[in-house]
Amino acid sequence: MTHLRKIVLGGAAAALMMTGAVSKSFATEPGDFTNYLRGATQGLPLGALPPPGLYGGFGLNATGLTGGAGKGDQAIAGPSVAPAFGYGINFLYVPGWTFLGASYGMAVVQGFYQAELATPATPPFSAESISPEFANTNFTPIDLSWALGHGWFVAAALTIVAPDGSRWPSNAAFGAVDLNPDYWTFAPGLAVSYLDANWLLSANFRYDINSASQGTTMSPFLPAGAANGYVSGNLLFGELTALYKLGKWSFGPVGYFVAQTTADHPGGGIPCTPVICGNQSQIDVGFLIGYDFGPVAVQVWADNTVECANCIGTGWDVWGRVSFRLWAPEAMKPLVAKN
């Protein structure tokens, strides 16, 4: 089956809310057409917003995906390894406001990627790469974080992904393939985090609800009439972190899972078939090492697929993240009475 691979890194600030960039892959059922980079918030305590200020982040990702099956034995067939690379920038603003007892923040993430189409030599596809593209932008206008006490935090957020990324409908190497989803995604998120002098524990969840495709993105992979109005099933993303802090170092296991909770719906009144529809699931586990330089914090980690059903396939992802504070409000100076 045609196998289109892509990767975007949605880098994150020190406590970026429930947001990310676009998915690292297409072509699962027939498309893993998602507006989120699964695994992007590993290592982040999304339940706890940082102090007031403006934060920035930059991230890199490299992946080598095999087309082979995972333990679920339902990965999409494809060639051996086709590396893909991506990067992203983000900004998180915490103005110091409170609402319903929670700290308020907002964020934007812009990803970029280089996509590679690795397929048998059948028109209109060929194994070629294209220049880096803009991913669809993730906007998080609402992120609320409550401090529960004793190191525990919980946060709720809403991310909206606009179909504003690069479009390549006339690219000769890819025929009519449009590499970014051509629909909106609305993603409520929830995170629970624990922080103390030695531990950083976090469980970050995001639930993607997609609008209907306009037919551009899906058309190369679906029968006539099924692409226009195609609705990808809702997806639950969960990302887990357990880091031990030793001085400026931090290290520990990370991992993520993906579970499709609703069925896909093709357009044109065409019924679902195993080629057009099929729920996907995936589990990856890995290990993270971080170092806090003071003004800049760095994290590096790697994941490998251990379970895969109707997903892109098995393989390693290697990640890197740099986060920093760009601005903080000046501390109030004490009043001094003049004599």
Instruction: Please answer whether residues 296 and 320 qualify as being in contact, where contact means their C-beta atoms are separated by less than 8 angstroms.
Output: no
Instruction: State pLDDT tens for residues 240-261.
Output: 999 999 999 999 999 999 999 9
Longest Cα–Cα distance of the chain, Å, equals 87
- Distance, in Å, from the CA atom of 67 to the CA atom of 2, rounded to the nearest integer, reads 10
| DSSP letter (8 states) at residue 220 | G
In angstroms, the Cα distances linking 90 to 5, 11, 157, 159, 339 are 23, 6, 16, 13, 49
Whole-angstrom Cα distance, residue 268 to residue 270?
5
Of 44-58, 117-131, 153-167, 227-241, give the lowest mean pLDDT range.
117-131
Token pair for 16? 């970026």
DSSP string, 266-322: -STTPPP-TTT----EEEEEEEEEEEE-SSEEEEEEEEEEEEEESSS--EEEEEEEE
β pairing state of 315-327 and 296-309:
antiparallel
Phi-psi region of 169 (alpha: psi -120 to 50; beta: other; left: phi over 0): alpha
Kindly provide the residue ranges of all beta strands, DSSP E only, lying in the chain, ordered along the sequence: 4-5, 53-65, 82-94, 98-99, 102-114, 116-117, 128-129, 133-134, 138-149, 152-161, 185-195, 199-210, 235-246, 249-260, 281-292, 296-309, 315-327
Q: How many CB atoms are located within 10 Å of the residue 331 CB?
A: 6
Give the CA dihedral 123, 126, 129, 130, nearest 10 degrees: -10
- Which structure tokens are listed for 148? 């529960």
Other beta carbons less than 10 A from residue 170's beta carbon: 8
- Give the side-chain half-sphere CA count within 13 A for 69: 6
More confident residue, 293 or 28: 293
pTM of the entire structure?
Answer: 0.81
Report how far residue 82's alpha carbon sits from residue 62's, in angstroms, rounded to the nearest whole number: 10
Task: Determine which of 66-75, 102-111, 212-221, 228-237 has the lowest per-residue pLDDT on average.
Answer: 66-75
d(CA 222, CA 273): 11
Q: What is the pLDDT of residue 32?
A: 52
Q: Which residues of 3-42 are buried (b: 16+ CB within 10 A; e: fewer)?
A: bbbbbbbbbbbbbbbbbbbbbbbbbbbbbbbbbbbbbbbb
Average pLDDT on 143-169 reads 92
Residue that wins the pLDDT comparison between 67 and 147: 147
Q: How far apart (Å, rounded) are the C-alpha atoms in residues 313 and 118?
A: 13
Is the pLDDT at 159 greater than 90? The verdict is: yes
Q: How far is CA 50 from the centre of its chain?
A: 21
Reference 54, options 24, 85, 14; nearest CA is: 14
Task: Map tokens 């357990």 to a residue.
Answer: 242
Q: Residue 127 gets which letter from DSSP?
A: S
The single-letter DSSP state of residue 137 is P
SS3 132: coil
Domains and CATH numbers, the chain: 4-327 (2.40.160.40)
**What is the average per-residue pLDDT within 316-320?**
88
Residue type, 305: T
Specify the amino acid at residue 329.
Answer: P
Tell me the mean pLDDT in the region 13-34. Answer: 36
What CA–CA distance (Å, rounded) separates 202 from 199? 10
Of residues 246 and 25, which shows the higher confidence score?
246
Taking residues 129-141, report their average pLDDT.
80
- Give CA separation, 150 vs 153, 195, 246, 271, 282, in Å: 9, 9, 20, 52, 33
